[in-house]
Structure 1
């Protein structure tokens, strides 16, 4: 690990503490409680959309196929599926946020303000989305933290960094991060939800 890279295990409680100081919310507990509560309905919505026609449906269908092929699906894989599929469903481009690289190659992180970098191997690139070699948090073109191979934990820590370091949401993922903020973390900013996000929230809470 490079000397200027932060130790994940030591950084995690610090980020959680700072997030709690800012929002008076337990980041880990709130994130997983609400994400897990909404996951079944979200996956149902994603699967339904995947049966339609068009580019969005094709992308969702591909994620569903990869997820379904996992030998031992568990809660972490379902969380990862939701986090990967959410921006697709909201018609946002996550290609500059969910970055991948081969373990033998150094990634080009130029113009990468905020991202999650997943290390994969050539022969398992698709499957490794759910069981990667490692996941790193990238801030301002640099790998800040290399943490667990659990996408949800890495996303959680990055979301905490956004608040702790006063970062902007990724430019192309404003709806996705706003969903995490308002629906998952229940953090309001008194701004109305935009069309696609409002529709998703309505569908999600429509019993």
Structure 2
């Protein structure tokens, strides 16, 4: 189990306990409704003990939480508030360094990356190779130190290119960012559009305006409609997330935006803008994305790559993308998301 996750969820323990009893029927517990509840509890204790042993051996994914469960913390915080563990279904939250690699080796490789990214046409194969090598070093820096986005842009410029966002998301969660997102969105689109048409009240009025702006059934337009309507349906505040401006140099409009998408050069908010940027901590970190769906899934990948929290005003939407569309993290859904999932009959 530890080879897959240092911190398994309740569902993970149940799955393993059930599989254990099914594979070895002689282990089935008499008098137990399921036959494996005792094994589930035993696995929890065994995993805790194993994590302690791994912490003593210096494994990064668990040493980061060493000594943080005390109730008498010096700063007065309650216990467990600083525990760092996967919360969004990451399979590589804090991986160990490759054998023989140290911080010094990794820093040299990072400098090679920075120098390569200064070229007009960086060599893609070299960039990917060095990004693969420095993955554990980068995760350690981002998760433990929580640097400002401007600092990450300076130290890891390759991370803010579209292809490297795809690769990094794959390294962190083991899934194809673009394919999984678009496949899930296309499967949900017919049900979402039907639901938008049935909504009443203020939500229905806002969705009706979006439906009116959708002039064609071209796939990109339909995807844009669904992505613009999803936060409205879930009760989020898309006005704090979707921004528009003529020039990215004029950052007064988005300086206070922690996470958002910027429609560039559009006089009015349109469903399918011709150019979209990504805002993180008030900075436009990417500004050449071709359409809204592309910008949305690249932003979602960056949130994982940079270990960011979902913005409060779009939390339901991002949780829906994570838990329903990508099937990552906990199986239990918040009420609003569970309701929408039931309405869509996913």
TM tier relative to shorter chain? 0.7 to 0.9
Identify the residue that residue 113 of structure 1 maps to in structure 2: 258
Distance 2:224 2:274 in 1: 15
CA contact (8 A) 1:103 1:121 kept: no
Query: 72, 77, 80: which is aligned to 2:221?
Result: 77
Using CA pairs under 8 Å that are at least 6 residues apart, name the structure with larger relative contact order, 1 or 2. Answer: 1
Distance 1:160 1:105, change over 3 A: closer
Unaligned runs of 5+ in 2: 1-117, 119-152
CA contact (8 A) 2:181 2:325 kept: yes
Identify the residue that residue 47 of structure 1 maps to in structure 2: 197
Q: 2:341 matched to 1:205?
A: no
Distance 1:45 1:39, change over 3 A: same
Q: CA deviation at 1:96?
A: 1.3
Distance 1:148 1:111 in 2: 22
Name the SS for the 2:238 alignment partner: coil
CA contact (8 A) 1:147 1:154 kept: no
Unaligned runs of 5+ in 1: none
Name the SS for the 1:95 alignment partner: helix
Distance 1:199 1:166 in 2: 28
Identify the residue that residue 32 of structure 2 maps to in structure 1: none
Runs of at least 4 residues off by over 6 Å? 3-8
Name the SS for the 2:187 alignment partner: helix
Structure exhibiting the larger radius of gyration computed from Cα positions = 2
Identify the residue that residue 245 of structure 2 maps to in structure 1: 101
- Please, what TM-score do these two structures have when normalized by structure 1? 0.84
What is the root-mean-square deviation in Å for CA atoms of aligned residues? 2.5
Name the SS for the 2:328 alignment partner: coil
- Please, what TM-score do these two structures have when normalized by structure 2? 0.52
Identify the residue that residue 167 of structure 1 maps to in structure 2: 308
Name the SS for the 1:87 alignment partner: helix
Residues 33-86 of structure 1: CA distance to partner in whole angstroms, max 9, x if unpaired? Answer: 11111111111111111xx2x21111111001111xx2x441011101000000
Identify the residue that residue 287 of structure 2 maps to in structure 1: 146
Query: Size of the alignment, in residue pairs?
Result: 193
Distance 1:73 1:147, change over 3 A: farther
Q: CA deviation at 1:104?
A: 9.2
